[in-house]
Copies of this chain bind each other. A is one copy, B any other.
């Protein structure tokens, strides 16, 4: 992050000159996120010294924000007591996130330094499937009883709240741990002291199951503007909450995954771009490249089968890239728009007809505009300006008719394939540009050659 550049240099030079008091003063004023950024950028061997300068309350918060390599290096250089202090200050869901990325020996050491209770909880959390609500929830939350008064509730929050990840929304559960309502700190503070929790709580709680997909969790938090969403087990017992900051990270990751899939990349969002190895990058890119290359040979076969037509009228070849590219672009526009709308829950399979009808009308508008522009261009530039005699009115007409038809077909294929993929339970994002392009290429060539052979009599 650019803004840290000079600060980074200052800190490094202070560290070199052992100005520890000044360093501590600087670090105290910094946000833990920025402290983490400093650690990620300095040399490994300087980390332990700098880390020991951090005020205790910043140390754990900064540690959570560091990337896994930095965390791993630091853990290996901390004493058991220091490690225990960090772990004590961390929220359990953050510990679990960290453990998932660490090698076995580091995990063992972390678990050895955790309390029995924490270790049990960590092991429980580790068992949830990777992208589930259970895997991103925190189990540290304030639970209130329905017949507490507002004052008692606030007292309870005071007594137990320091360790809890968020106390802004409190959950009300009966004696069997069944979730019965939610109440915000705002409601509690604004209520009269002796009001009962059950009278100010909202009994209509929206919750998810531990196995709910994290993408759905994030979508619900966004739709309802929640700060946190309760997670219940199969018996409707409250087991945790997902907070909005984790939901935001899920949303960004999901958007990145969609973008990668649309560009024919197997999603790879665990690490930032520069930290992903060459071989891993290759692995996430080569499968689709191979598949699409093989599919493109069908397009080649279409050209081969019209070889004679092309041999007699080579000028037709010159328009192939323009037709294929425009078709591909038209199809991509439709498919990407539809894929994003499905992701944002704006579209459902039952909208299929509406979507196709809309795309047909847009395609007619686009097709006519493009064909008109192409006709002028072919005649003015290719025929008159460049004086290419092979470009006849017939050729111009064939090119423009193909163009308009290709755009129409491309938009219809582009908008409907993601809808069908969604309906069949596949990821619509896979039906984006590269896939559509390959299909549209083949279609546009067939249309082109059929029209050409018939109109130009070749």
Contacts and interface: CB of A to CB of B under 8 A. Distances in A.
A136 interface: no
Interface string A232-260: 00000000000011011101100110111
A176 interface: no
Interface string A200-216: 00001010000000000
B325 A441 contact: yes
Contact of A346 (B274, B294, B354, B382): B274
B337 A273 contact: yes
Interface stretch (A124-132, A283-291, A450-458): A283-291
Nearest to A304: B318
A366 B274 contact: no
A382 B297 CA distance: 10
* Interface of chain A: mostly helix, strand, loop or mixed: helix
Interface residues of A, number: 117
Given A263-B332, A293-B370, A161 B190 contact: yes
A381 to B, nearest CB: 7
A325 B346 contact: no
A374 B407 CA distance: 30
Contacts of A1: 345
Interface in A19-49: 29-31, 33
Nearest to A381: B297
A230 to B, nearest CB: 14
Contacts of A354: 274
B301 A318 contact: yes
A344 interface: yes
Given A341-B273, A346-B272, A362-B278, A293 B190 contact: no
B324 A321 contact: yes
Given A227-B244, A310-B317, A314-B307, A256 B358 contact: no
Given A190-B161, A293-B374, A341-B272, A300 B318 contact: yes
Given A185-B185, A290-B369, A344-B256, A274 B351 contact: yes
Nearest to A336: B263
Nearest to A362: B281
A167 B169 CA distance: 12
Contacts of A320: 300, 303, 320-321
A7 interface: no
A262 B260 contact: no
Given A33-B225, A255-B255, 9 more contacts: A252-B255, A259-B340, A263-B332, A274-B347, A279-B365, A294-B377, A307-B314, A311-B311, A325-B437
14 contacts: A33-B224, A168-B227, A256-B344, A259-B262, A265-B333, A265-B337, A272-B341, A274-B351, A282-B362, A285-B333, A296-B326, A297-B322, A297-B377, A321-B324
